[in-house]
Amino acid sequence: MRFRHRVAAGLATLVLPLAGLVGLASPAQAATSATATYAKTSDWGTGFGGQWTVKNTGTTTISSWTVEWDYPSGTSVTSAWDADVTSSGTHWTAKNKSYNGSIAPGASVSFGFNGAGSGSPSNCLLNGASCDGGTTVPGDAAPSAPGTPTASGITNTSVQLNWSAATDDNGVKNYDVLRDGKVVSTVTTTSYTDTGLTAGTDYSYTVQARDTANQTGPVSGAVAVHTTGGTTTPPTTGSKVKLGYFTEWGIYGRNYQVKNLVTSGSAAKITHINYAFGNVTNGQCAIGDAYADYQKTFTADTSVSGVADTWDQPLAGNFNQLRELKAKYPNIKILWSFGGWTWSGGFAQAAANPTAFADSCYNLVKDPRWADVFDGIDIDWEYPNACGLSCDTSGSAAFKNLMSALRAKFGSSALVTAATTADGSSGGKIDATDYAGASQYVDWYNVMSYDFFGAWATTGPTAPHSPLTSYTGIPTAGFDTADAMAKFKAQGVPASKLLIGIGFYGRGWTGVTQDAPGGTATGAATGTYEQGIEDYKVLKTSCPVTGTIAGTAYAHCGTNWWSYDTPSTIAGKMSWAKTQGLGGAFFWEFSGDTSDGELVSAINSGLS
């Protein structure tokens, strides 16, 4: 809880106007027995994280401290914690908080901040004197960026890196080597051999220089490295989308972390990830779970990079883990998905002012703290002008207007997608809204071709929840993938903008006596997290397949009856999707798969 409170205190700082915080400390407290050193802790392209460390190198306690520095025009501090920060033009000043002004001999304190721009600090002063502990004013300039590293001698487990030297007015002391954004070594030469790597894995390397005052300069350009060997290959976008949903809450009870995408081999076989879900409330996009999204710190064994998070780093949580994943697999595109079954009720208010909604979504997705993580936005409205958890009466044009506003705001370079119903019945949910008109604004639709049938019909009849085609005895005509896709195409949605949906789970009943679909039941079968639903990774052994119908599998074990997809039925569905000219496939969601990702492998193989 201590770390959670510290995060909250940092966030509170964000809302304070920087210009009204503090004045300067007295120059009489000359820092001849202290140093202030700067480090750039992260860089996400449109912004960065920075940290100053003040160390008492003398023999008496320092009672307070003030650090001053200059940034070039266009670089600024946007938020700070553990110090009060103000600026005058391009000159920045940070003064201790009430709780960290006193520094005992040999001790040090640090404060952090987020910034915008690409400049480095210069003219550093600590309590009116040079930040390197000397008497020179205004102090050292930070070193320049080293040259972009070159990689050679790549093996299954190691790589040799070399780079051209940085320059500094007082000399370069050493270099930090960063793997996937985190320091793995500090060296005094312009070369380094990184060892202990994983075969067949992608890494990204940068370096930054440190001068004799321990100021670090900007990070170099990055070099991508793929180690030899291994059983997987780097992801390629190819011609078909292979997309999976990652749930923010899966890191809790399910204990499914972003790192599991790597260890399962799934990250090497997908092209896109939908991060689910952001909230939709008050007509705006909003954070779903702040702790999971960007506050939770991960240990080394649960982190994608293999390096533990620190409590004070500018960005943590799933967002930082996704950033580390993209460093390893730069071809993966990540979309932030908003809505979902629980939060779709907020879309009615959003549809009343699509422009304001789009503005709010853009500002959240493009927040400087994580703008580099996301390549676009996905809208999961269940369901426009129809009923889901609640009923919407926004009208058939509301969805089109919403997607039009999002495309206008995000521009042509970002991905804009949506999850849609697969209700192909006459007068059903597809007919309720103008999906064809909206399709000009989207890159693709994730057609949720699952959950057609389930134990909400308590007594049955039992039926596969994700039939590819209709079959004799199907409880509702049009509740199958083929009919849904045919209806979308008949409306005018291009086949290439339709993705087939696969559920990585089964739906089931109990009290069933017959093997074949169409049996009666007494209620929902017991599931690990929810009645009537269970992950594929459990069902494949707890209730093995009895037979197949309409392109999917079913299983009768004891009095339980389940339906779910298997690698074999997925292969058939992928083959069908290719013959229909569909844009690819997506699935809900990663944690339902086996530890070696056999369902993801089936999708990848089937679409390759």
Q: Which of 431, 443, 423, 444 is nearest to 396 (CA)?
A: 431
- At 160, the amino acid letter reads Q
- State the DSSP string of 361-382: HHHHHT-TTTTTT-SEEEEE-S
Q: What is residue 230's predicted lDDT score, i.e. its pLDDT?
A: 59
**Where in the sequence numbering do the catalytic residues fall?**
382
Helices (H), 229-337: 259-263, 290, 317-328
- CA 62 to CA 67: how far, in whole Å? 13
Does the pLDDT at position 69 exceed 80?
yes
Could you give the CA distance from residue 194 to residue 307 in angstroms, rounded to a whole number?
Answer: 14
Res 426 pLDDT > 70: yes
Please give the pLDDT value at position 9: 31
* 214 vs 15: which has the higher pLDDT: 214
Least confident of 21-30, 63-72, 78-87, 291-300: 21-30
Mean pLDDT score, 104-111: 89
Contact residues for 472 (Cβ-Cβ < 8 A; gap 6+): none
pLDDT for 149: 92
Flag whether pLDDT at 13 surpasses 90. Answer: no
pLDDT of 232 higher than 60: no
**pLDDT > 60? residue 28:** no
Q: Report the share of the chain in percent with pLDDT over 70.
A: 92
pLDDT value at residue 496: 95
Q: What is the pLDDT of residue 140?
A: 59
Alpha-helix residue ranges (DSSP H) falling in 284-376: 290, 317-328, 340-343, 347-352, 354-365
Query: Please, which pLDDT band fits residue 169 given cuts at 50, 70 and 90?
Result: confident
Does residue 589 have a cis bond before it (omega within 30 degrees)?
yes
Please state the pTM of the whole predicted model: 0.66
Question: Quick one: pLDDT at residue 266?
Answer: 96
Alpha-carbon distance of 281 to 334, in angstroms, equals 22
CB 432 within 8 A of CB 386: yes
Average pLDDT rounded to a whole number, residues 543-567: 98
Pick the residue with more confidence: 18 or 278? 278
Q: Report the chain's terminal Cα–Cα distance, integer Å.
A: 47
Domains and CATH numbers, the chain: 2-130 (2.60.40.290), 150-226 (2.60.40.10), 241-504+565-607 (3.20.20.80)
HSE, CB side, 13 Å, CA atoms: give it for residue 381: 31
**Tens digits of residue pLDDT in 350-402:** 999 999 999 999 999 999 999 999 999 999 999 999 999 999 999 999 999 99
Range of weakest confidence among 92-106, 122-136, 253-267, 568-582: 122-136
Q: What is the mean pLDDT of the chain?
A: 88
- Residue 479 is predicted with a pLDDT of 97
Tens-place pLDDT, residues 198-225 = 887 878 888 999 888 777 888 888 888 8
Give the pLDDT mean for 123-143. 69
Mean pLDDT for the stretch of residues 499-513: 98
242 SS3 class: strand
Q: What is the DSSP string of 193-210?
A: EE-SPPTT-EEEEEEEEE
Chain-centroid distance of CA 338 in Å reads 13
Answer yes or no: are the C-beta atoms of 286 and 353 closer than 8 Å: no
Most confident stretch, 137-146, 222-231, 479-488: 479-488
